[in-house]
Structure 1
Amino acid sequence: MWFKNLRLYRLTEEWTISAEELNEKLAAFCFNPCGSLDPMRYGFEPPLGRHGSEFVHVTNGYVMICAKKQEKILPGGVIKEQLEEKVQAIKDAESRPVGRKERDTLKDELIFSLLPKAFTRSTLDYAYIAPQEGLIVVNSSSAKRAEDLLSKLREALGSLRCLPIAPKNIPTQVMTHWLRESEAPHQFELGEEVELQAAKDGRVIRCKKQDLTASEIRNHLESGMHVSKIALVWKESISCIIDDQLGIKRLKFEDVISDKAAERNPESKAEQFDADFAIMAMELKNFIAATLAAFGGEVERE
């Protein structure tokens, strides 16, 4: 359950929905498996999975939710191969070409016939609402997947006013400054990974397991490249990659944090989930605040 990625959204109005009301609204949009002809289904699941029945899990005022996506797997290569066979069969039988419109119709019919036989793939998307901080934190490396979850939440609630966090200072400029000065912001240390991009010619250089204060890194900056991603370590307890959209990826909690949850001696999956969530949310509260401060705070919205 420990989040591995963060997408941060600012609530632009006060969160006033109770846990009971939210649970009721999410239940109305719960996940149902794909039918034989459904290419995809998306809906809410209990965060505890089979160990729980509620669609929300609340700890210390933080509200965890989970959405499940199930989609049919239809490999493009299989569709293309069978489509070409159908097209060739028509050419051979009727001695005529097959136009684009007819090909599209044949493709749709082919997909329709394959859907009932297709395997399914399921994924879970977690997020938690932090009313105290006015945030929604989504565990996703993909902006699209995060927006899909928020869109479903908006559908369930009727409205949801929130926007992606926007820092005052431009992330690429801030991260490039850190690297040029070989100095991370307060409470942070530079990691061993960076991605550099050149605006003029599109060059990209990725460095892993490197000393980011080395002269060769500085030479790339002097040539006009800028930082698009950089590895940071916060207070020796959380490590991550931050990108130019303020997306936080490959988040890792060191043992000093996860051991705190184990110290509570949980006796069930539900208690373990609750302990992990409580510790994670409190650590992320401070980590997020420090990260935003490192980029000069947030843009003030009217």
Structure 2
Amino acid sequence: MWFKNLRLYRLTEQWTISAEELNEKLAEFCFNPCGNLDPMRYGFEPPLGRHGSEFVHVTNGYIMVCAKKQEKILPGGVIKEQLEEKVQAIKDAESRPVGRKERDTLKDEIIFSLLPRAFTRSSLDYAYIAPQEGLIVVNSSSAKRAEDLLSKLREALGSLRCLPIAPKNIPTQVMTHWLRESEAPHQFALGEEVELQAAKDGRVVRCKKQDLTASEIRNHLESGMHVSKIALVWKESISCIIDDQVAVKRLKFEDVISDKANERNPESKAEQFDADFAIMAMELKNFITALLAAFGGEAERE
């Protein structure tokens, strides 16, 4: 359950929905498996999975939700092969070309015929609402998947006013300054990975397991490149990659943090989930505060 990625959204109005009310609203948009002709289904699932029945899990005021996506797997190669066979059959039988519109119709018919026999693939998207901090934290490396979850939450609630976190200072300039000065912001240390980009010609340089203060990297900066991603370590307890949207990727909690949850001696999956969530949310509260401060705080909203 420990988050591996963070996408941060600022609530632009006070959160006033109780956990009980939220649970009822999410239940109306619960996940149902794909039917024979459904290419995809998306809905809410209990965060505890088969170990729970509630659609929210609350710990210390933090509210965890989970959405499940199930989609049919239709290999593009199979569709293409059947389409070409149908097109060739028409050409042979009627001695005429097959136009784009007719090809699209044939493709739709093929997909329709294959859906009932297709395998399914499922995935879970977790997020928690932090009313006291005015944040929604989504465990996703993809902006689209995060927005999918928020859209479903907005559909269930009727309204959800939130915006992606916008830092006061331009992230690429801030991160480039850290690298150029070989000095991370307060409470942070530079990691061993960086991605550099050149605005003029689109060049990209990726360095892994490297000393980021090395002269070779400095030479890239002198040639006009800027930082688009950089590895940071926070208080020797959380390591991650920060990108130019201030999205947090490859988030890793060191043992010193996860051990705190185990100290509670949980006796069930539900208790373990609760302990992990409580510790994670507490640590991320301080981490997110420090991260935003490192970029000069948040930009003022109009």
Cα deviation for residue 99 of structure 1 reads 1.1
Shift of 1:90: 1.0
Q: What is the deviation of 1:301?
A: 1.5
Q: How many angstroms apart in 2 are the aligned matches of 1:104 and 1:252?
A: 45
Map 1:42-61 → 2, pairs under 5 A? 42-61=42-61
CA distance in structure 2 between the aligned counterparts of 1:9 and 1:24, rounded to whole angstroms: 23
Tell me how far 1:100 sits from its aligned partner: 1.0
- TM-score for the superposition, normalised by structure 1: 1.00
Shift, 1:95, TM fit: 1.5
Aligned-pair identity in percent equals: 94
1:195 aligns to what SS in structure 2? strand
Superposed displacement of residue 231, structure 1:
0.1
CA distance in 2, matches of 1:99, 1:182: 59
Q: Output one character per residue of 1:123-155: Cα deviation in whole Å (capped at 9) or x when no partner.
A: 000000000000000000000000000000000
Q: Specify the alignment match of 1:91 in structure 2.
A: 91
Deviation at 1:93, TM superposition (A): 1.5
C-alpha displacement of 1:24: 0.1
Aligned-residue CA RMSD (Å) = 0.4
Unpaired runs of at least 5, structure 1: none
In the alignment, the residues of structure 1 paired with residue 278 and residue 167 of structure 2 have an alpha-carbon distance, to the nearest angstrom, of 27
Aligned to 2:105: 105
Deviation at 1:96, TM superposition (A): 1.4
Q: CA deviation at 1:122?
A: 0.3
Partner of 1:78: 78
Q: Which residue of 2 aligns with 1:255?
A: 255
1:129 is paired with a residue whose SS is strand
Shift of 1:97: 1.2
Residues 36-62 of structure 1, C-alpha deviation per residue, up to 9 Å, x if partnerless? 000000000000000000000000000
User: 1:244 deviation in Å?
Assistant: 0.2
Normalization by structure 2: what TM-score?
1.00
For residue 104 of structure 2, give the secondary structure of its aligned residue in structure 1. helix
Secondary structure of 2:140's counterpart equals: coil
Structure 2 counterparts to residues 179-190 of structure 1, below 5 A: 179-190=179-190
Structure 2: gaps spanning 5 or more residues: none
Cα distance between partner residues in 2 of 1:111 and 1:301: 45
| Offset, 1:94 | 1.5
Q: Deviations over 1:212-232 (max 9, x none)?
A: 000000000000000000000
- Find the counterpart in structure 2 of residue 289 from structure 1: 289
Question: Which range moves more in the overlay, 2-11 or 71-80?
Answer: 71-80
In 2, Cα distance between equivalents of 1:243 and 1:136: 19
CA distance in 1, matches of 2:18, 2:161: 16
For 1:91 and 1:159, the matched residues in 2 are separated by 52
Q: 7-16 vs 92-101, which deviates more?
A: 92-101
State the Cα deviation string for residues 202-251 of structure 1 (Å, max 9, x = none): 00000000000000000000000000000000000000000000110000
Kindly indicate whether residue 173 of structure 2 is the aligned counterpart of residue 164 of structure 1: no
SS across alignment from 1:90: helix
Name the CA distance, whole Å, in 1 between partners of 2:188 and 2:22: 37
